[in-house]
């Protein structure tokens, strides 16, 4: 850490010092160092940039420190900038240029044109759907149509510098909460803001805090739930990688509100970079005296510990997470008692999601009115979503509640991608939202304003915010089966409805995709799904049937095609998609005849072959053997 | 504690590594509540959790071995059998799944003669497993080999990564 001020650490001084150093830079080159860009080679590009700038004889500032009076170009790293598909991303300030898919080979040109000549490298700029080049974030449709509040600093601030965070106003609201605000005042403010849990359930955060605050004083805990296990979601990862201190500040405010002196961050081990950055942030904040025995001179202590999860989805459930921290198997307990009364080691505990906590300092800063001016009445504020799947612009987005699916998928996402081409609404089939606990939204929901309550009304949920776009060639039965495979494997086994129910539902879905099912199977599947929904102990089990029930309701015809006509309309399920030979392409070479293990293909040389479906076992060998792509 | 564990050790768990286990236990104050992080660190030493080491951890923490075994089998990260030098994790999260991650898995398994039941090659060079989401959905489909993330994979590209490692191993 580069704590540049004298002891004791002074937030304003550290921020101002960083600001001075920043003011001395002639240009800033910021490389996105989120997981996506790192894997695409961002660090190699950074090293090449530093070398090339030095070779060009330009002064360079590697670390921004108040006491250095060096002037020059600063090459720095940021957290995830959200536009993952276009990585590695390189931003040049103050020119406001954003370069996409930058490689080491592009570096000399960037240095010569932009850093020396002050001109953008046209070919590295983003081109929108119409082929127009966009200079920076202010011109790229993907960014323009978002409202980045929680993500505002992700991609700008250096995630590994406490001073940088102080420079953008960091820890000021924590200081205010600890020094100037009464615990009840903080709870009331958050309650008035209408902030709801961003982890999925949408429980009002202020009420959760108040329930814990009114417990008698003593040992209390604040836990940050960073066990983002939903497949297809990475919002929390990006916040922790991009602005880890904001999460810690949120925890400090929560601690002041409920009277906690100990905090835990329960973090998914699959996110090594987030683990590293959060651990470093805790160490830095501790070294600066922001965490410790005497927080902001109040004489009250607050400490944070980081624990890595060990790969269990159910640990995202509050009581299971607590069991895991206590050193047990991560199995949930019946509620009540709620964690607010009896949580970690039987002490009152509040558990909040990463995004919820990162939002808290921003609400204190902007005020209740400003926060409520975005979003809908019942769901104020903004929400981050991970936009993935068959969509042109995959990445991390933030929009106000009340935005429609059409805005998200077509305006921000740039449309549906099918067969390598960007297509219009006709290629859009569904969006799966809320992961294994959620449901699907279809074309008829494109104009539905999305918030906690409207989604619940149509059998889906906000969940943590994973949004997977699917084109018309996606089999919805296969998607339902995919999620059931996941929940069956992740069911902890404590309660019978979930443990046995998920197993039976998966077995029935297997029958459907393998052509062994009839309409009775579908009726049984629905019945078991409803039972599991009602009778399971925890949220995992209660919501495990959602993907099945949602797809059965919205895509009934597709299920019927699987069980009655025994065919998979999208030809995804192998057993229900017998191969066909296109006579127009078949040259009669005989390759497939030789390859077929059951001798189902016949035909004369140089004449189109045919398949005997009584013999065909749908193994697909003929499809892979045919060099002319005549078999599909 | 050391003496109590010593007789249980076999050739598979050399004494030099065992010193690191006691160091890990001591660093966590032999606190049973720290069982999960202790097992995580022990696994880093051995690349899996040998049975006799789990028994030793149980003794040191004053827990029944069944409890340690229960925790070790509950969490997906703990391995009870040795893994390969190169652990290939194929992401099968929703985003990767809809972008055809399964054909990549099939291709990798075919190349290395592995299956759903057999996840590690006999020469202990490769382990192929699926994970439910690596949070790199923007790059789907994703393959991670040890710490290196490879995005927007195809079956031939994934097999090429394996071939490169095989060639490199043959040289050294």
Average of per-residue pLDDT across A613-624 = 85
Residue B11 burial (10 A CB sphere; 0-12, 13-18, 19+): exposed
The reply to whether A278 touches chain B by the CB within 8 Å rule is no
Of B35, B93, B149, the CB nearest to A232: B93
> How many other CB atoms are there within 10 angstroms of residue B30's CB atom?
15
pLDDT at residue A66 tops 80: no
Region label for A170, one of left (φ > 0), alpha (ψ between -120 and 50) or beta (otherwise): beta
| Segment 194-253 of chain A within 8 Å of chain B by CB | 228-234, 237
pLDDT at residue A210 tops 90: yes
pLDDT at residue A71 tops 90: no
CA distance B56 to B6: 9
Chain A interface, best mutation among B135, B140, B144, B161, by max A CB count within 10 A: B135
Region label for A566, one of left (φ > 0), alpha (ψ between -120 and 50) or beta (otherwise): left
The reply to whether A349 touches chain B by the CB within 8 Å rule is no
pLDDT at residue A67 tops 80: no
Inter-chain residue contact A231 with B36, CB threshold 8 Å: no
pLDDT band at B12 (very low <50, low <70, confident <90, very high): low
Residue B34 resides in a domain: yes
Q: Which residues in chain B touch residue A84, judged by CB atoms under 8 angstroms apart?
A: 136-139
pLDDT band at B14 (very low <50, low <70, confident <90, very high): low
pTM attached to this predicted model: 0.91
Beta strands in A268-359 (DSSP E): 303-308, 349-353
Contact (Cβ atoms closer than 8 angstroms) between residue A85 and residue A101:
no
Handedness of CA A393, A399, A405, A407 (dihedral sign): negative
Task: Give the CA count within 13 Å in the CB-facing half-sphere of A235.
Answer: 30
Say yes or no: B144 and B92 in one domain: yes
Residue with tokens 């979503």: A385
Inter-chain residue contact A308 with B151, CB threshold 8 Å: no
Say yes or no: B47 and B22 in one domain: yes
Q: Which residues in chain A touch residue B70, judged by CB atoms under 8 angstroms apart?
A: 329
Least CA distance to A472: which residue of chain B?
Answer: B98
pLDDT band at A136 (very low <50, low <70, confident <90, very high): confident
Q: Which residues in chain B touch residue A482, judged by CB atoms under 8 angstroms apart?
A: 94, 97
Per-residue tokens: A470: 């699917």
Say yes or no: B63 and B98 in one domain: no
Q: Which residues in chain A touch residue B134, judged by CB atoms under 8 angstroms apart?
A: 35, 270
What are the pLDDT digits (tens) for A461-508? Answer: 888 788 999 999 999 999 999 999 999 999 999 999 999 999 999 999
Average of per-residue pLDDT across A369-379 = 95
Of A269, A270, A389, the CB nearest to B98: A389
pLDDT at residue A541 tops 90: yes
Q: Which carries the bigger pLDDT value, residue A247 or residue A462?
A: A247
Tell how far CA A109 is from the center of its chain. Answer: 34
Average of per-residue pLDDT across A210-229 = 95
What CATH topology corresponds to A11-140? Glutaredoxin (3.40.30)
- Count of positions (residues) in chain A: 632
Considering only CA atoms, which of A51, A50, A234 is closest in space to residue A151? Answer: A234
Q: How far is B37 from chain A (nearest CA, A)?
A: 7
Alpha helices in A134-182 (DSSP H): 141-144, 162-167, 172-180
The CATH number given to whatever domain includes residue B107 is 3.40.30.10
Say yes or no: B98 and B166 in one domain: yes
Region label for B57, one of left (φ > 0), alpha (ψ between -120 and 50) or beta (otherwise): alpha
Inter-chain residue contact A432 with B70, CB threshold 8 Å: no
CA distance A275 to A247: 13
Contact (Cβ atoms closer than 8 angstroms) between residue A42 and residue A31:
yes
Say yes or no: B92 and B159 in one domain: yes
Residue B81 resides in a domain: no
The reply to whether B139 touches chain A by the CB within 8 Å rule is yes
Least CA distance to A418: which residue of chain B?
Answer: B99
Sheet holding A428-433, edge to edge: A395-400, A382-389, A466-471, A428-433, A439-442
Domain final residue, candidates B44, B74, B104: B74
Q: Which residues in chain A touch residue B150, judged by CB atoms under 8 angstroms apart?
A: 39
Inter-chain residue contact B99 with A390, CB threshold 8 Å: yes
Of A310, A474, A486, the CB nearest to B98: A474
The count of domains in chain B is 2
Contact (Cβ atoms closer than 8 angstroms) between residue A330 and residue A219:
no
Lowest mean pLDDT among A41-55, A130-144, A195-209, A546-560: A130-144
The reply to whether A390 touches chain B by the CB within 8 Å rule is yes
Average of per-residue pLDDT across A333-352 = 96
Q: Report the pLDDT value the prediction gives residue B8, as an integer from 0 to 100.
A: 42
Residue B148 resides in a domain: yes
Chain A interface, best mutation among B42, B133, B141, by max A CB count within 10 A: B133
Residue B80 resides in a domain: no
Say yes or no: B160 and B93 in one domain: yes
The reply to whether A490 touches chain B by the CB within 8 Å rule is yes
Q: How far is CA A410 from CA A87, A137, A406, A407, in A?
A: 21, 18, 6, 6
What are the pLDDT digits (tens) for A297-317? Answer: 999 999 999 999 998 999 999
Q: Which CATH number fits domain A578-632: 3.30.70.20, 3.40.50.970, 3.40.1190.20, 3.90.850.10?
A: 3.30.70.20
pLDDT band at A445 (very low <50, low <70, confident <90, very high): very high
pLDDT band at A579 (very low <50, low <70, confident <90, very high): confident
Return the CATH number of the domain spanning residue range A382-474: 3.10.20.600
CA distance A322 to A350: 11
Q: Which residues in chain A touch residue B97, judged by CB atoms under 8 angstroms apart?
A: 231, 482
CA distance A585 to A206: 66
The reply to whether B75 touches chain A by the CB within 8 Å rule is yes
pLDDT band at A2 (very low <50, low <70, confident <90, very high): very low
Say yes or no: B11 and B38 in one domain: yes
Of A230, A269, A328, the CB nearest to B133: A230
Inter-chain residue contact A394 with B140, CB threshold 8 Å: yes
Q: How far is B52 from chain A (nearest CA, A)?
A: 20
Say yes or no: B70 and B90 in one domain: no
pLDDT band at A329 (very low <50, low <70, confident <90, very high): very high
Residue with tokens 């939002």: A359
pLDDT band at B3 (very low <50, low <70, confident <90, very high): very low
Task: Give the CA count within 13 Å in the CB-facing half-sphere of A347.
Answer: 16
Lowest mean pLDDT among A5-14, A193-202, A540-549: A5-14
The reply to whether B140 touches chain A by the CB within 8 Å rule is yes
Q: Report the pLDDT value the prediction gives residue B9, as an integer from 0 to 100.
A: 45
- CA geometry: angle A421, A423, A425, nearest 5 deg: 160
- Domain with B156, as residue range(s), is 86-171
Least CA distance to B31: which residue of chain A?
Answer: A327
- CA geometry: angle A374, A378, A384, nearest 5 deg: 50
pLDDT band at A431 (very low <50, low <70, confident <90, very high): very high
**Helix axis angle, A244-258 relative to A205-213, nearest 10°?**
50
CA distance B69 to B50: 11
Summary mean pLDDT of chain A = 92
What are the pLDDT digits (tens) for A381-399? Answer: 999 999 989 999 888 899 9
Considering only CA atoms, which of B109, B114, B106, B104 is closest in space to residue B151? Answer: B104
Inter-chain residue contact A482 with B74, CB threshold 8 Å: no
pLDDT at residue B65 tops 70: yes
pLDDT band at A233 (very low <50, low <70, confident <90, very high): confident
Inter-chain residue contact A231 with B97, CB threshold 8 Å: yes
The reply to whether B147 touches chain A by the CB within 8 Å rule is yes
CA distance A44 to A46: 5
Give kind and range of the element (H or E) at residue A31. Answer: strand A25-32
How many contacts does A have with B, using Cβ atoms within 8 A?
Answer: 138
- CA geometry: angle A144, A148, A154, nearest 5 deg: 115
Say yes or no: B104 and B164 in one domain: yes
pLDDT at residue B61 tops 80: yes
The reply to whether B151 touches chain A by the CB within 8 Å rule is yes
Kindly state the percentage of chain A with pLDDT values over 70. 99
pLDDT band at A4 (very low <50, low <70, confident <90, very high): very low
Q: Report the pLDDT value the prediction gives residue B73, as an integer from 0 to 100.
A: 95
Residue with tokens 């005989």: A590
Contact (Cβ atoms closer than 8 angstroms) between residue A377 and residue A432:
no
End-to-end C-alpha distance for chain B, whole angstroms: 41
Inter-chain residue contact B37 with A84, CB threshold 8 Å: no
Q: Report the pLDDT value the prediction gives residue A272, as an integer from 0 to 100.
A: 86
Q: Which residues in chain A touch residue B133, judged by CB atoms under 8 angstroms apart?
A: 229-234, 270
Residue B112 resides in a domain: yes
Tell how far CA A253 is from the center of its chain. Answer: 24
Of A87, A329, A435, the CB nearest to B70: A329
Considering only CA atoms, which of A235, A255, A606 is closest in space to residue A435? Answer: A235
- CA geometry: angle A597, A601, A606, nearest 5 deg: 125
Residue environment code for A314-344, b if the CB has 16+ CB neighbours within 10 A, otherwise e: bbbbbbbbbbbbbbbbbbbbeeeeebbbbbb
Considering only CA atoms, which of A532, A237, A158, A270 is closest in space to residue B40? Answer: A270
pLDDT band at A296 (very low <50, low <70, confident <90, very high): very high
Average of per-residue pLDDT across B120-143 = 87
Average of per-residue pLDDT across B12-18 = 64
The reply to whether A167 touches chain B by the CB within 8 Å rule is no
Of A269, A324, A388, the CB nearest to B138: A388
Print the SS3 string covering chain B. CHHHHHHHCCCCCCHHHHHHHHHHHHHCCCCHHHHHHHHHHHHHHHCCCCHHHHHHHHHHHCCCHHHHHHHHHHCCCCCCCCCCCEEEEEECCHHHHHCCCHHHHHHHHHHHCCCCCCCECCCCCEEEEEECCCCCHHHCCCEEECCEEECCCCHHHHHHHHHHHHHHHHHC
Considering only CA atoms, which of B8, B63, B79, B55 is closest in space to residue B31? Answer: B63
Considering only CA atoms, which of B114, B149, B156, B113 is closest in space to residue B131? Answer: B149
The reply to whether B71 touches chain A by the CB within 8 Å rule is yes
Say yes or no: B26 and B51 in one domain: yes
- Count of positions (residues) in chain B: 172
ipTM: 0.86
Q: How far is CA A185 from CA A254, A256, A473, B33, in A?
A: 12, 10, 53, 35
CA distance A12 to A57: 35
The reply to whether B28 touches chain A by the CB within 8 Å rule is no
End-to-end C-alpha distance for chain A, whole angstroms: 58
Q: How far is A64 from chain B (nearest CA, A)?
A: 29
Say yes or no: B162 and B90 in one domain: yes
Considering only CA atoms, which of A616, A574, A571 is closest in space to residue A595? Answer: A616
Considering only CA atoms, which of A607, A562, A599, A565 is closest in space to residue A583? Answer: A607
Handedness of CA A532, A536, A541, A542 (dihedral sign): positive
CA distance A461 to A552: 16
The reply to whether B99 touches chain A by the CB within 8 Å rule is yes
pLDDT band at A352 (very low <50, low <70, confident <90, very high): very high
What CATH topology corresponds to A162-371? Rossmann fold (3.40.50)
CA distance A173 to A235: 23
Where are the domains positioned within chain A? 11-140, 162-371, 382-474, 477-563, 578-632
Inter-chain residue contact B75 with A470, CB threshold 8 Å: no
Kindly state the percentage of chain A with pLDDT values over 90. 71
Q: Which carries the bigger pLDDT value, residue B85 or residue A463?
A: B85
User: Phi and psi of A470, rounded to 5°?
Assistant: -130, 135
Q: Report the pLDDT value the prediction gives residue B95, as an integer from 0 to 100.
A: 84
Say yes or no: B70 and B14 in one domain: yes
Q: Report the pLDDT value the prediction gives residue A7, as an integer from 0 to 100.
A: 54
Contact (Cβ atoms closer than 8 angstroms) between residue A412 and residue A393:
yes
Q: Which residues in chain A touch residue B34, judged by CB atoms under 8 angstroms apart?
A: 327
Least CA distance to A468: which residue of chain B?
Answer: B95
Per-residue tokens: B104: 């990549």
Q: Report the pLDDT value the prediction gives residue A619, as an integer from 0 to 100.
A: 81
Residue B103 resides in a domain: yes
Considering the domain delimited by A477-563, tell me its CATH architecture.
Up-down Bundle (1.20)
What are the pLDDT digits (tens) for A258-280? Answer: 999 999 999 998 888 899 999 99
Inter-chain residue contact A311 with B34, CB threshold 8 Å: no
> How many other CB atoms are there within 10 angstroms of residue A213's CB atom?
20
Chain B interface, best mutation among A264, A327, A392, by max B CB count within 10 A: A327
Considering only CA atoms, which of A483, A569, A567, A464 is closest in space to residue A517? Answer: A567
CA distance A35 to B138: 10
């Amino acid at each position: 850490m580069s704590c540049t001020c004298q002891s004791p650490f002074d937030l304003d001084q550290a921020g101002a010092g960083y600001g001075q150093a920043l003011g001395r830079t002639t240009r800033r080159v910021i490389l996105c160092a989120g997981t996506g860009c790192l894997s695409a080679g961002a660090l190699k590009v950074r090293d090449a940039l530093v070398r090339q700038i030095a070779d060009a004889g330009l002064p360079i500032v590697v670390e921004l420190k108040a006491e250095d009076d060096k002037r020059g170009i600063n090459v720095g790293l940021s957290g995830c900038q959200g536009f993952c598909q276009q990585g590695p991303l390189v931003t040049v300030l103050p020119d406001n240029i954003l370069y996409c898919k930058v490689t080491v080979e592009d570096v000399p040109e960037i240095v010569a044109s932009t850093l020396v000549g002050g001109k953008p490298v046209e070919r590295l700029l983003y081109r929108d759907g119409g082929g127009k080049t966009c200079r920076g974030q202010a011109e790229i449709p993907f960014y323009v149509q978002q409202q980045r509040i929680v993500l505002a600093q992700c991609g700008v601030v250096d995630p590994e510098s406490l001073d940088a965070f102080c420079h953008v106003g960091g820890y000021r609201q924590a200081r205010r909460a600890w020094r100037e605000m009464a615990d009840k005042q903080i709870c009331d403010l958050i309650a008035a803001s209408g902030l709801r849990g961003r982890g999925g359930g949408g429980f009002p955060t202020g009420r959760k805090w108040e329930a814990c605050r009114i417990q008698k004083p003593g040992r209390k805990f604040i836990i940050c739930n960073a066990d983002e296990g939903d497949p297809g979601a990475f919002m929390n990862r990006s916040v922790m990688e991009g602005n880890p201190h904001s999460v810690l500040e949120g925890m400090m405010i929560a601690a002041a509100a409920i009277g906690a002196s100990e905090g835990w961050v329960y973090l998914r081990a699959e996110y090594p970079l987030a683990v590293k950055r959060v651990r470093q942030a805790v160490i830095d904040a501790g070294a600066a005296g922001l965490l410790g025995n005497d927080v902001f001179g109040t004489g009250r202590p607050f400490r944070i510990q980081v624990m890595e999860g060990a790969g269990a989805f159910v640990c995202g459930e509050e009581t299971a997470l607590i069991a895991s921290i206590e050193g047990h198997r991560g199995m949930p307990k019946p509620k009540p008692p709620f964690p607010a009364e009896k949580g970690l080691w039987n002490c009152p505990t509040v558990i909040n999601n990463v995004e919820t906590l990162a939002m808290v300092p921003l609400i204190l800063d902007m005020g209740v009115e400003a926060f409520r001016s975005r979003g809908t009445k019942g769901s104020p504020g903004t929400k981050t979503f991970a936009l993935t799947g068959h969509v042109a612009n995959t990445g991390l987005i933030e929009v106000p509640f009340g935005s429609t699916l059409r805005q998200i998928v077509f305006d921000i996402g740039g449309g549906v991608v099918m067969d390598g081409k960007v297509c219009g609404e006709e290629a859009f089939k569904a969006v799966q939202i809320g992961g294994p606990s959620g449901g699907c939204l279809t074309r008829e929901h494109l104009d539905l304003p999305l918030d906690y309550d409207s989604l619940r009304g149509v059998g889906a949920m906000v969940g943590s915010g994973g949004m997977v776009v699917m084109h018309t060639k996606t089999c919805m039965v296969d998607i339902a089966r995919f999620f059931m495979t996941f929940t069956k494997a992740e069911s902890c086994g404590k309660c019978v409805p979930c443990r046995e129910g998920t197993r039976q539902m998966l077995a029935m879905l297997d029958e459907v995709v393998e052509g062994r099912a009839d309409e009775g199977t579908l009726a049984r599947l629905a019945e078991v799904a409803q039972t599991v929904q009602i009778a399971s102990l925890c949220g995992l089990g209660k919501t495990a049937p959602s993907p099945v029930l949602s797809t059965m309701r919205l895509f009934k015809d597709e299920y019927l095609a699987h069980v009655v006509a025994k065919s998979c309309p999208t030809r995804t399920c192998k057993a229900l998609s017998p191969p066909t030979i296109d006579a127009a392409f078949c040259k009669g070479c005989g390759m497939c005849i030789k390859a077929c293990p059951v001798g189902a293909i016949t035909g004369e040389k140089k004449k189109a072959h045919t398949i005997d479906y009584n013999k065909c076992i749908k193994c697909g060998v003929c499809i892979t053997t045919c060099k002319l792509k005549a078999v599909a | 504690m050391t003496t109590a564990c010593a007789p249980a050790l076999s050739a598979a768990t050399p004494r030099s590594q065992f010193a690191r286990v006691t160091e890990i236990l001591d660093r966590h104050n032999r606190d049973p509540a720290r069982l999960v992080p202790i097992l995580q660190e022990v696994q880093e030493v051995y690349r899996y959790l040998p049975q006799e080491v789990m028994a030793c951890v149980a003794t040191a923490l004053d827990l029944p071995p069944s409890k340690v075994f229960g925790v070790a089998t509950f969490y997906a990260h703990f391995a009870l059998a040795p893994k390969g030098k190169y652990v290939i994790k194929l992401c099968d999260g929703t985003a990767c799944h809809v972008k055809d991650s399964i054909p990549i898995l099939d291709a990798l398994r075919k190349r290395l003669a592995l299956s759903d039941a057999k996840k590690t090659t006999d020469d202990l060079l490769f382990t192929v497993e699926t994970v439910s989401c690596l949070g790199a959905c923007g790059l789907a489909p994703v393959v991670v080999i040890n710490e290196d993330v490879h995005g927007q994979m195809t079956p031939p590209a994934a097999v090429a990564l394996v071939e490169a490692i095989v060639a490199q191993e043959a040289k050294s």
